[in-house]
Amino acid sequence: MRPDFVIFYRMKTKRVIDFFFHSVKIPSPSYRENKYRIFLEKKLEKLGAEIIVEKSEEGTNLIARFPSKFSNDWIGLSAHMDTVENGNEKITPVLDGNMIWSSGETILGADNKSTISMFFEAAKTIQENNIKHRPFEFLLTFGEEKHLTGARLLNPEKFISRKILLMDASGKVGGIIESSPTHYSFKIIVKGKKAHAGIEPEKGKNAIKAAALIITSFPDGRISPTTTFNVGEIRGGGATNIVPDEVVIEGEFRSTEKDQIDEIVEQLMNLNLQFEDIKTDLVQDYLGYSLKKEDSFVKEIVQVIKKTGLTPHFTASGGGSDANIFREKGLNAVNLTSGMIEPHTYNECIAVDDLIKGTEIIINILSLSEPE
């Protein structure tokens, strides 16, 4: 990118900040994204995009297409429209020097609205400056914060791109997520026998005691550098004078190592051999992945980050994103850091510099030439 173009572009800083501020002020918790989606649709219409609305019972995905006469090398830019739950509180973004925060009483919503703001600013800048570009699509999903639902339901036949770029990881812009774990959720129902705890406890069978033995039979927290296990919820009992007859245990585990996943799965499914009256349900929420650094798309992204003046670095993630689902569908999806810090908390923030640098990365990966 020519230095004079960088200077010109940075004069548009206020515009990307304004778009971001407007975005986070529109509430869009998971499965209630419609108001924000309609706002984005109107913005896309002004950009002249071909818009495809993909509706389902759970929610609506939004696809926007920007063709090009200069190339057939399509790239998808994907982000999610939803945020974690914020109650009924209104988000009030605050610009403090180079940092954007919430008021401290809510989340900020940089996850993932900062990336959406970068996408729109990149598209507008490319159009305004007559930059020759590769064809690209916005793939904007719903319900990412609730089991990656939108990406699961997004039909690859509805869009052209087979290379997908996401920016949905925390950390300063310039990071590339090289691996993400496979994630399982489990639910264990422990049955006991109800009895009066004071009159005839001998006739009872304490489900809570059995549940305690089950929970303590598993390791907790970080089992290895690449594997975690957590019991996150336990429900059971009704009164102190009743021997409890049922307990429900729910938890999750994650790992990038197949051997460790198989070992935990086997231990969970064999609980019925050690304890009576137990039912175990196990669900694979998403499949993990590891990038190949020699992949041509990964190499291109590395060079683009360098061109933007940053030092690219690979990092492992302990969480999942829509990239996991896209890769399960056979798409070459790569997730980058977006600049957001402490997402899902009241300390969530992002630097203006990261909004700018993130936008420049997108412009550089889409551009085929300097502005005319």
Distance CA 78, CA 139 (A): 5
Same domain, 82 and 11: yes
Binning pLDDT at 50, 70 and 90, where does residue 11 land?
Answer: very low
Same domain, 120 and 244: no
Tell me, what's the pLDDT at 5? 46
Helix (H) or strand (E) holding 168: strand 163-169
Answer whether residue 200 shows pLDDT above 80. yes
Tell me, what's the pLDDT at 7? 40
More confident residue, 13 or 212: 212
Same domain, 70 and 58: yes
Tell me, what's the pLDDT at 272? 87
- CATH number for the domain spanning 201: value is 3.30.70.360
Q: Which of 286, 315, 348 is the last residue before a domain boundary?
A: 286
Same domain, 110 and 235: no
Tell me, what's the pLDDT at 53? 98
Same domain, 144 and 212: no
Computed over every residue of the chain, the mean pLDDT equals 94
Tell me, what's the pLDDT at 89? 80
Position 301 in a domain: yes
Position 332 in a domain: yes
Position 372 in a domain: no
Position 95 in a domain: yes
Tell me, what's the pLDDT at 87? 74
Answer whether residue 95 shows pLDDT above 80. yes
User: How many domains does the chain divide into?
Assistant: 2
Position 59 in a domain: yes
Position 270 in a domain: yes
Q: Which of 256, 286, 316 is the last residue before a domain boundary?
A: 286
> 157-181: per-residue pLDDT in tens?
999 999 999 999 999 999 999 999 9
* Contact of 179 with 323, CB cutoff 8 Å: no
Structure tokens at 141: 């999903």
Binning pLDDT at 50, 70 and 90, where does residue 370 land?
Answer: low
Tell me, what's the pLDDT at 274? 86
Same domain, 270 and 299: no
- DSSP sequence for 41-95: HHHHHHHT-EEEEEE-SS-EEEEEEE--SS----EEEEEE--B---TTPPP--EE
Binning pLDDT at 50, 70 and 90, where does residue 91 land?
Answer: very high
Q: Which residue has the tokens 């990261």?
A: 354
> 219-253: per-residue pLDDT in tens?
999 999 999 999 999 999 999 999 999 999 999 99
> 31-85: per-residue pLDDT in tens?
999 999 999 999 999 999 999 999 999 999 999 999 999 999 999 999 999 999 9
> 289-324: per-residue pLDDT in tens?
999 999 999 999 999 999 999 999 999 999 999 999
- Mean per-residue pLDDT, 319-332: 97
* Contact of 29 with 107, CB cutoff 8 Å: no
Q: Which of 227, 258, 286 is the last residue before a domain boundary?
A: 286
Same domain, 161 and 186: no
Same domain, 111 and 11: yes
Same domain, 101 and 152: yes
Position 166 in a domain: yes
Same domain, 204 and 271: yes
| End-to-end Cα separation, the chain, in angstroms | 12
> 107-143: per-residue pLDDT in tens?
999 999 999 999 999 999 999 999 999 999 999 999 9
Position 371 in a domain: no
- CATH number for the domain spanning 83: value is 3.40.630.10
- Mean per-residue pLDDT, 324-343: 98
Answer whether residue 88 shows pLDDT above 70. yes
Domain residues for 219?
182-286
Tell me, what's the pLDDT at 325? 98
> 245-301: per-residue pLDDT in tens?
999 999 999 999 999 999 999 999 999 888 889 999 999 999 999 999 999 999 999
Binning pLDDT at 50, 70 and 90, where does residue 1 land?
Answer: very low
Same domain, 271 and 359: no
Tell me, what's the pLDDT at 260? 96
> Beta strand 182-191 with 136-141: parallel, antiparallel or unpaired?
unpaired
Binning pLDDT at 50, 70 and 90, where does residue 369 land?
Answer: low
Distance CA 177, CA 336 (A): 6
More confident residue, 369 or 192: 192
Same domain, 102 and 197: no
